[in-house]
Structure 1
Amino acid sequence: MGGHYRSDIAAALELATDLEDSRSVRRQIRYISELIWPQEAVKLLTVGREDRQFAKSPGVVVLTNQRVVFNRSSLLGYLVTAPVDAISSVDWAGGTLKLKWPVDEFIRVRDVPEGSGTLLASRLRAQLEERRVSERLEEQRTARRRRGLPEGTENSAEDVTTRLSTLDRLREADTITEAEYQERRAAILGTI
């Protein structure tokens, strides 16, 4: 898809090789830079149609470092946005991507290309898993402080194994670079 885009959008387009090359999709991709905040970085994008009866034109699903944005341009325009931290689950099956966040709100996008949809879902799941692990670690630290134990006195083998396993999933999902993986792995192993 030709055009001049911000470098992060161009990099996301390089990963999304299976996007439909239509005028509507090109227009939406040009519009992404206006939808995202200056401090946001686009990680991935794909296209699809909202799973509603009259949603005929495709929309763009954008994963940034802070939120997920679904935009479908139509006569009235349509925008759904959710902070990544608020998303509670990601389902991907048969070309349909479903993102759910608290209060039973969700967006379901159908006709998503297999490659970019799978990549987006796996990266988002990895981010959610990383957040859950961070929350569990913080809970463990809080429990240690309540018991009056100094930081780092209970670094169990199970904790290290869990952290290494999460790190492996992040690398497999291409959420972190090989250099970041090696650095974090060394830091985890250094706590033993």
Structure 2
Amino acid sequence: MATFNVRPDIDAAAAQLGSTLGAKREIKRLPEVLWDGETVEMLAKGTYANGTGIVAMTSMRLLFLKHGVMSQTVEDFPYAKISSVQWQGGLVMGTLAVYTSGNRADIKNVPKDQGKAMADKLRAYIAQGAQLTQPPTQASQPAPTQDVASRLAALDQLRTSGAITEAEYQQQRVAIISSL
């Protein structure tokens, strides 16, 4: 196994890769695209938008990095923007589908064990975020009737701007109307 001596968190994640063949340049360049205070938790190799690179799960987002000789591709998915994750595995490789605001990003050719572990951890992050944004389960006083119209208007603006998906819009709309 190759040693990189980049950063302890990146080195530990890289050590978990079965092979770093074709990912060494990206692993060495990863600190250049990380945010302040962001740490790498898991790495996998994969193909996205016709480029082969690494998929990094960090403390803040899912990140795809392809660092070629002539160009660099960085695509990131902050956890708060991910609505769902799908894993489809084959015998050796699989596809990690990430859904954000009605869009779908397919990261292909991800090794099966790494892809499944990444999908499971992403689902846990999504569930944690949903629990943090859910209203309290205790019964609270219903919203005043005049407030319902403004809540529906605000919800419609969120859908129009793409901040929420159609499914999220419908779910929240039903909840607002049910509060009457």
Note the residue ranges of structure 2 that are not aligned, 5 or more in a row. Answer: 143-180
Displacement of 1:73? 2.2
Q: What residue is the counterpart of 1:61 in the other structure?
A: 55
Change (3 A) 1:17 1:71: closer
Q: Within 2, Cα distance between the matches of 1:27 and 1:65?
A: 22
* Secondary structure at 1:99 match in 2: strand
Q: CA RMSD in A?
A: 1.8
Q: Within 2, Cα distance between the matches of 1:131 and 1:44?
A: 19
The farther-off stretch of 104-113 and 26-35 is: 104-113
Q: What residue is the counterpart of 2:42 in the other structure?
A: 44
Displacement of 1:59? 1.1
Q: Within 1, Cα distance between the matches of 2:87 and 2:62?
A: 15
1:11 aligns with 2:12: yes
Aligned residues: 136
1:78 to 57, 68, 73: 73
Structure 1 length-normalised TM:
0.65
Note the residue ranges of structure 1 that are not aligned, 5 or more in a row. Answer: 148-192
Displacement of 1:119? 1.1
Q: What residue is the counterpart of 1:125 in the other structure?
A: 123
Say which structure, 1 or 2, has more relative contact order (CA 8 Å, 6+ apart).
Answer: 1
Q: What residue is the counterpart of 1:186 in the other structure?
A: none
What amino acid is the match of 2:125? Q
Q: What residue is the counterpart of 1:140 in the other structure?
A: 137
* Secondary structure at 2:137 match in 1: helix
Higher strand share: 2
Give per-residue Cα distances to partners, 1:17-59, cap 9 Å, x unaligned. Answer: 32x332x310111111111012111111111111x4xx2x521
Q: Within 1, Cα distance between the matches of 2:43 and 2:17?
A: 10
What amino acid is the match of 2:66? R
Structure 2 length-normalised TM:
0.69
Q: What residue is the counterpart of 1:151 in the other structure?
A: none
- Contact (CA 8 Å) 2:14, 2:20: kept in 1 or not? no
- Contact (CA 8 Å) 2:14, 2:27: kept in 1 or not? no
- Contact (CA 8 Å) 2:53, 2:65: kept in 1 or not? yes
Q: What residue is the counterpart of 2:96 in the other structure?
A: 97
